[in-house]
Each structure stands twice: as structure tokens, then as C-alpha cells.
Amino acid sequence: MSTKIWDKGFSVNEQVEAFTVGRDRELDLFLAKYDVLGSLAHTRMLQSIGLLTADELEHIQTELKRIFRTIEDGEFVIEPDVEDVHSQVELLLTRALGDTGKKIHSGRSRNDQILVDLKLFARAEIRQIVDLTAQLIDVLLAQSNRYKDVLMPGYTHLQVAMPSSFGLWFGAYAEALCDDLQLMLAAWRITNRNPLGSAAGYGSSFPLNRQMTTDLLGFDSMNYNVVYAQMGRGKMERIVATALGGVAATLSKMAFDVCLYNSQNFGFVKLPKEYTTGSSIMPHKKNPDVFELIRAKCNKIQAAPQEIMMVANNLPSGYFRDLQIIKEIFIPLFGELRQSLEMTLQIVQKIEVNKAILDNNCYDLMFSVEEVNRLALEGVPFRDAYKQVGIAIEKGEFVPQKTINHTHEGSMGNLCNEKIAELKTAVLKEFTFEKAEKAERDLVK
């Protein structure tokens, strides 16, 4: 018996089948639990409009929940001659329930199944990324407060420029991640809309209750227009990938700083030795491989929106098999960013800061602006003060005064870390994670 739900009584060339299935069996395992959740909601809706009896629904729900448990236990497989997760779940239902199992596809297409699977998957993964990002913000702010009085050079053009501090350095990345969370919130809101019921992209002659499945799955709203619901395939992934790329860009920049500052030529920070690696021939080496890999992985993540766009960009409205390839780009992004966040979180908590950087007189000239400002405060016109200090530097007569007194908002003496923490808290409140998770728990209990 054919395992293809679209079987029409003829065989497909084996090479064609392998080519068109591609990596679906591998990648669809990430989507399996969400496919079952979608079917749990869809079949309850089918019963409500008279396409399933109460008895049939009870048997289907029981079997779907059993399949869900096998997925949670890591026992679910997509069989070698089965195309995808949708076909596998329907096959298992049909084996267990006979003709009743064949009824679950009424009013639905694999097109809107994969849409809802991807959205539920992305929804769960976004929460993990947001949680880790929020934890990293907290750690960065704690380190900023801890080292707020430890000075370090600030650079422009990679030349020593002005005094900075580790309070500023840690806090800058905390605030950057707060903005990244804002972008993630926009991606969440676009993701958290229900496409189920759009079928192949043109709706159904069945009197589907799309609001019911929206509520059952915990979506904030639905994708109302069925054609647009299908047009969202690829668009949602690109938007989410862009938000992931925002976090990745911040991590990549911080990774570069850490690699630079950890080098012997700088010596600003020291990584915990258990988070470094060695050389095969140089016994003294403690390499920052973790941050180098974070930098590379995060730069790769930033390329993903462009890759997704290049697959979907020249397609008209409607479904095309091209969209299958987007899964290969999209699904792995979350794991790579999650690992990068986890490693950054661990190391930043244990990083050691050099508290005596400015003992080296090679950094004396970064206090030149402080001297210009001191003279200006005494009444010397700024341009005259600038020239006076510049001449002293050229003559080798400049003597730095290393007392720093920055008081304005966001400066070394007034970091505004409590305001950054408030930004984080405010954006976290906008995510409707609890509503989504409660809906999913209710479906499988």
C-alpha cells in the first residue's frame, strides 16, 4: 500500500522522489510535536462543524496524544518511504483507527500544515532565545555595575582615543541586546498569527471555524486573508531570521572585542582557562576559540535573511516547492544562536578584568580631551584650549590628570543601568509566551 497521501495509483521515479523529499525527513523531526498540536486543534474544530462525530474525535484525540508522547520521548520516526511528518502522523492514525484516521485532512492542505508547524516551532524557539538574551542582559549589567570604576581606553580608528570604563563596555552590550529584543518582539508578533484554514492558499468550501483553531493554539490572531497566509511562507522565516541576526550581530561584535582584549598585546581581560583551547606546538597558548566560533556562527546567522530572500523573492503568490528549501536555512538557526548565547552567558560571568590597564603610560594621551575640557571650564575658549594641549603633546610636555568626573546620563559616572534594566523588563512584558504555552498544554493534557 502506498504511504503517500497524494497517491494516484502510479509510481514516481526513485531519483525524483529522493530529490523532492530532500532533507524533509530529517528536518521535519523538529516540527513533529507541532504538527500533532495543529492536528489536535484542527480535529476539534472539524467535530464542531459536523465533519467528525464525538466518538471519532475522542479516538483521534487519544491517538494523537499517544503520538505526541512518543515524540516527547524521542521514539517518533519518519519511516523511509514516508515523505514528511504530515504523512507520517496521518499514516499512524490510519493504521490505528482505519477510515477514521483518513478524515483529519478535511479542510486542510499540507501547505497550511507546514505553515502552522513552522509558526509553532518558531514560537517555541523564540521564547528560548528571548529568555537567554534576557539572562545575558542581566549578567552584563551586573558586570557593568561591578566594574563601573575600572577605566580602560576607548578607541576610534583603532587608535587610543578617550577614557572609557568596563562599566560602559559591559553596559553597552546590555543595552544593545535590549534593542535586539524589540526586534524579536516584532518577529514574535508576526509569527504568532494563525494560518491554519487557508488550506492550499485559497480557503475551503467547508465551513471552517478559524477563530476556534486560533484560540485553541494560543495565537494572538489569525492571518485573515487566505492568500496572504500562504504568502507568509518565507516572509515569516525571513523576518524571524532578521531578528535572530540582530542578536547575532551584537554577540559577534562583543566576541571580536573579547578576542582583541584577551590578546597579550592588550591584556584588558582574561578568559577562564577552562574556556580556552591550546596549540599543538606552542605550549603557552590559551586560545579564545569559543569566541572565535561565536563570531563566525553569528556572522553566518546574519546571512540567513538574505539566503531566505533569494529563495522566495522571485516567486509570485501561491505555493511553490522552492519554499521547502527555506527549512534547511531556517530551522538550524535557532540551535546555533542558542549555543552561542549559552556559551557567552557562561564566560561573561567568569571573565577577569585587568584593573591596572592605565598604569601603562602608553595610554596617557587619552586624557588629552579631559585636559581640554578642564581648561574650557576655567574659561579658556575651547579652540584655544585644544591648541594649547596639542602643542604640549607635540613638545612632549603633556602631563595627564587621570581623575575622571563624568556625570551626564549614560556616561562613566552615571551609567543609567537601572534604565536599561527597565527597558528589558518593559519589552519582555509584551511577549505573550504564557498564553501560547497554556494553549499547547491544554491541547495535550
Whole-number Å distance between alpha carbons of 323 and 235: 10
Please write the tens of the pLDDT for every residue from 412-421: 999 999 999 9
Residues 353 and 365 in one domain: no
Residues 328 and 370 in one domain: no
Do 60 and 126 touch, CB atoms closer than 8 A?
Answer: no
Number of domains in the chain: 3
Residue 52, domain CATH: 1.10.275.10
Say if 329 falls within a structural domain: yes
Whole-number Å distance between alpha carbons of 186 and 198: 23
Residues 308 and 374 in one domain: no
Residues 343 and 380 in one domain: no
Whole-number Å distance between alpha carbons of 223 and 203: 12
Please write the tens of the pLDDT for every residue from 249-300: 999 999 999 999 999 999 999 998 888 888 778 878 888 899 999 999 999 9
Query: Per-residue confidence at 9, pLDDT binned at 50, 70, 90?
Result: low
Grid-cell match 585636559, residue found: 371
Say if 312 falls within a structural domain: yes
Whole-number Å distance between alpha carbons of 178 and 190: 19
Residues 278 and 326 in one domain: yes
pLDDT higher than 50, residue 386: yes
Do 155 and 72 touch, CB atoms closer than 8 A?
Answer: no
Which residues lie closer than 8 Å to 109 by C-beta, 6 or more apart?
199, 200, 201
Residues 213 and 88 in one domain: no
73's grid cell: 520521548
74: domain range? 14-106
Q: Which of 103, 117, 235, 248 is nearest to 173 (CA)?
A: 248
Say if 400 falls within a structural domain: no
The separation between CA 39 and the C-alpha centre of its own chain, rounded to angstroms, equals 26
Say if 3 falls within a structural domain: no
Q: What is the pLDDT of residue 314?
A: 86
Say if 88 falls within a structural domain: yes
391 vs 277, residue with greater confidence = 391
Please write the tens of the pLDDT for every residue from 240-254: 999 999 999 999 999
Residues 424 and 387 in one domain: no
Whole-number Å distance between alpha carbons of 382 and 372: 7
Residues 120 and 39 in one domain: no
Continuous segment of H or E residues that includes residue 155: strand 151-156
Residues 372 and 325 in one domain: no
Distances 75 to 3, 23, 59, 70, 184 between C-alpha atoms, Å = 20, 19, 21, 5, 33
Residue 315, domain CATH: 1.20.200.10
Say if 269 falls within a structural domain: yes
Average pLDDT, the chain: 93
Say if 187 falls within a structural domain: yes
Q: Exposed/middle/buried for 307, CB within 10 Å: 0-12, 13-18, 19+?
A: middle
Whole-number Å distance between alpha carbons of 342 and 269: 20
Residues 233 and 319 in one domain: yes
Residues 45 and 139 in one domain: no
pLDDT higher than 70, residue 4: no
Residues 291 and 212 in one domain: yes
In 343-414, DSSP assigns E strands to 352-353
Query: Per-residue confidence at 387, pLDDT binned at 50, 70, 90?
Result: very high
Q: What is the pLDDT of residue 405?
A: 87
Please write the tens of the pLDDT for every residue from 153-191: 999 999 999 999 999 999 999 999 999 999 999 999 999
Do 115 and 198 touch, CB atoms closer than 8 A?
Answer: yes
Say if 408 falls within a structural domain: no
